[in-house]
Structure 1
Amino acid sequence: MFKISDFSRLSRVSLKTLRYYDQLGILKPAHIDKETSYRYYSAEQLLTLNRILLYKDLGFTLQQIQQLLREDISTELIQEMLRTKESEIEQMLEEEQARLGRIQDRLLLLEREGRVEKEQEVVMKSVEAQKIISFYSHGTVEEIPKLFHTLEQLVGKQKKQLLPRMVMWKETERNEAEFELEVAYSLKQEIAVTSDILNVRMLPEEPMMATLLQRVDPFVPSTACMDLAKWLVDNHYRIKKDQPGREVYVQSLEDNGDTYVEVQIPIESKS
């Protein structure tokens, strides 16, 4: 039997950690002296502690390790837990590899141009589900301002209950220049639906969106969508064909009152 201090020195695990493992029930002392409350550990428990450290090194949580240490655990369950951890690490490596690629792209851009414009930064993020009020149409990009004007007239004075406007678009098979369009406002509270052509629905969450923010110049056509699409192709990302792209328009609160558009394209992963 070893006192906890000796056991700590032999195993090179701190006293604080050993007490914590005792508290969690992962590694309880083999014996506790009733009079002194000293904790004693057996030599066999060094093997158990080595297994704990091994599983920690593999990335398992203490709760998972507690399950792995059970005497009645089957080989099949251990294999299943190891395969799950393997998949988690592979996913993490894929995400880190994508992040590394974006860092390398940024370095190349800095070397080529000497600086990075804030409005030309591609950002990967998830977009949560949101309730919208909208209507559907078909048309070209040039028709979007007119559709927004129609939507604004339909919601009328209730516009104060709305968040920034947006448009969802999907390509059509009939005409490369024509899109299936859905112009919308995001709702911050319920409003009355005043027209049969208006729909209130939940826009689903998108776990992985590539986004690009660009200032809208009323005299120059926006290139944000094409710039983002080219970036995705150059960086070997797959675009979700079954989900529409989105454009969210945001008004600056500063004195100049500039309008910005954030293009959002749903993606899957690198091809």
Structure 2
Amino acid sequence: MEMNATYTSLVAVGDSFTEGMSDLRPDGSYRGWADVLAGRLAAHTSGFRYANLAVRGKLIGQIVDEQVDAAAAMKADVVTLVGGLNDALRPNCDMDRVRDRLGEAVERLAPSCGRLVLMRSPGRNGPVLDRFRPRMEELFAYVDELAARHGALVVDLYGAPALADPRMWDVDRLHLTAEGHRRVAEAVWQTLGLPAEEDWRTPLAPGPRPRWASRRLADARFAKEHLGPWIGRRLTGRSSGDGLPPKRPELLPYEGPDAG
């Protein structure tokens, strides 16, 4: 396959979505869409370099303070920035502050790289999406505004019904499955002007509706294993990413399992 553009380096900035939760490898590490994308780019470009500064649980202010300057200094061909959704999902969220910090990130990153890629993040169909939809759409409208102002690309995952399908989401209902991450990688690939390998928007094939008892069991498991701890961290000001280093802090040649 001949590529329509050549990219020699990629830096990914963000939170758990970009870190790759919940796309688990056999060794227990996370892969995710950014690793898949880096692997595909590396398979076509000798010496391709990749850094992933994302850390789960990070708010947009933390992303700006801890990741943006490092990413800008790397002068990569492509930088991806996804952030602000963790803020929007908190009960007491100052959306003006979120917009200010996101705008600060874009202003620093856009001049430092060949191509800045922003995203309208996907959301799982269900009560959480319904409750926070106005904030999410406010955030995504600002993403569009920033992209137009700074010449960035936008990957519209929020507008893809296939990625809202609950079957694309892990049992924690916050993170995509391996299939979801694979589709995000394809979406970014196409947005970068590279030849499509599939239609990432294709809906999953219809399947049997889970029985009432199975749904209630899944709801109970979700509440015990994921919702309860998540609420606990919000109440105590803790984060799932506290103390964790960036996934791949240096811009180095990518020779991982996804490099082909």
For the superposition of Structure 1 and Structure 2, which TM-score range results when normalised by the shorter chain? under 0.3
TM norm structure 1: 0.19
Greater fraction helix: 2
Which has the bigger relative contact order, CA under 8 A and spacing at least 6? 2
TM norm structure 2: 0.19
